[in-house]
Structure 1
Amino acid sequence: MRIALYPGTFDPLTLGHIDIIRRAAALVDRLVIGVAINRDKGPMFTLEERVAMIEAECANLSAQTGTEIVAHPFENLLIDCARDVGAQLIVRGLRAVADFEYEFQMVGMNRKLDDSIETVFLMAEAEHQAIASKLVKEIARLGGDVSKFVTPPVVKALHDKLG
């Protein structure tokens, strides 16, 4: 069974994330969405809310692709999480060259920790390359329309969270 781990904070889940999830699901039998518990980032949504968003949005994708897609919270090293879920692959989405520079460094470190786990990069589709969760939250905080960047349930969750 081919198992991949797609890690991130997903705060909130964007159309860019969903695009990478959909495309990664076509490559594996089981896709684990690793939801990082990163207290330093001060997420807007709780871990439970982020997991619920992922589960709701991915249920349809799982049915369409035939790939099992599950959310898995983690707070340990990424490579340890990959081992914990039995992943042979780590999937990373790239939007721009700046993403690659950071990810290139991470791959090198992860390969030193465990060279049996490969990292696969998927380029975001052109229409999603500018989407970043941080920017989506900022636009929503300032009353802007985020419907081009997230699904309707996530728009509602943002509005509910911000009042």
Structure 2
Amino acid sequence: MTSAFYPGSFDPMTNGHLDVLVQALNVAERVIVGIGVHPGKVPLFSFEERAAMIRSSLTEALPDRAASLEVVSFDGLVIHAARAHNARLLIRGLRDGTDFDYEMQMAGMNAQMAPDIQTVFLPASVSSRPITATLVRQIAKMGGDVGSFVPACVAGALASRFAS
């Protein structure tokens, strides 16, 4: 079975993340979403909340593939986490040329350290290219409508988080 590791912070899950996740499930039989946990950073949502939103988003978008998803946390090198979960592919989404330049450098470094793990770049759909989790958090915090940028469950979680 081909397994892919899709790392990120997913704080929160966006439609761009979901787009890449759905594409990844076309490439691999199983996708492990690795939520990076860094002790020095305080996320908006806990690991458990992010994991639940990822699962719910995929279940709504692609119910027949929900069983092909695993969500884990990791706190070291992505290649170590991928190996720990027997993943042979690293999934990286690309929005634009800036992402491409950075991701190419990262893929090169990862290939040097782990030649047995292949990086796969998946292009974001046109509608999700401008979306970033940072902008989504900022818009939601200022009372804006983020419904077109995130899955419904995430929009609800953001509304609850910033209701006051």
Please report the TM-score for the alignment, with normalisation by the length of structure 1. 0.94
1:52 match: 52
Unaligned runs of 5+ in 2: none
Percent identity over paired residues: 39
Q: Give the deviation of 1:112 after TM superposition.
A: 1.3
Aligned equivalent of 2:20: 20
**Residue number in structure 2 paired with 1:93:** 93
Q: Helix, strand or coil: the match of 1:26?
A: helix
**Equivalent residue letter for 1:80:** H
Name the CA distance, whole Å, in 1 between partners of 2:3 and 2:61. 16
Which stretch of the first structure deviates more once superposed, 97-106 or 117-126? Answer: 97-106
CA distance in 1, matches of 2:8, 2:101: 17
Q: Which residue of 2 aligns with 1:119?
A: 119
Task: Return structure 1 stretches of 4+ with deviation > 6 angstroms.
Answer: none
Q: CA deviation at 1:65?
A: 3.8
Letter in 2 for 1:48: E
Moved more, 41-50 or 5-14: 41-50
Residue 15 (structure 1) shift = 0.6
Q: Is 1:33 matched with 2:47? A: no
Q: Distance in 1 between matches of 2:122 and 2:67?
A: 18
Choose 103-112 or 78-87, whichever is displaced more: 103-112
Query: Aligned partners of 1:38 and 1:138: how far apart in 2?
Result: 21
Correspondence for 2:133: 133
Contact residue 59 and residue 65 of structure 2 kept, 8 A:
no
Once the two structures are superposed, residues 126-161 of structure 1 have per-residue CA deviations (whole angstroms, 9 ceiling, x without a partner) of 010000000000001111110010112111100111
Question: What runs of 5+ residues in structure 1 fail to find an aligned partner?
Answer: none
Asked if 2 retains the 8 angstrom alpha-carbon contact of 1:136 and 1:146, the reply is yes
Tell me if 1:74 matches 2:74.
yes
Contact 2:147–2:155 (CA<8 Å) still a contact in 1? yes
Give the stretch that moved more between structures: 153-162 or 119-128. Answer: 153-162
Instruction: State the match for 1:109 in structure 2.
Output: 109
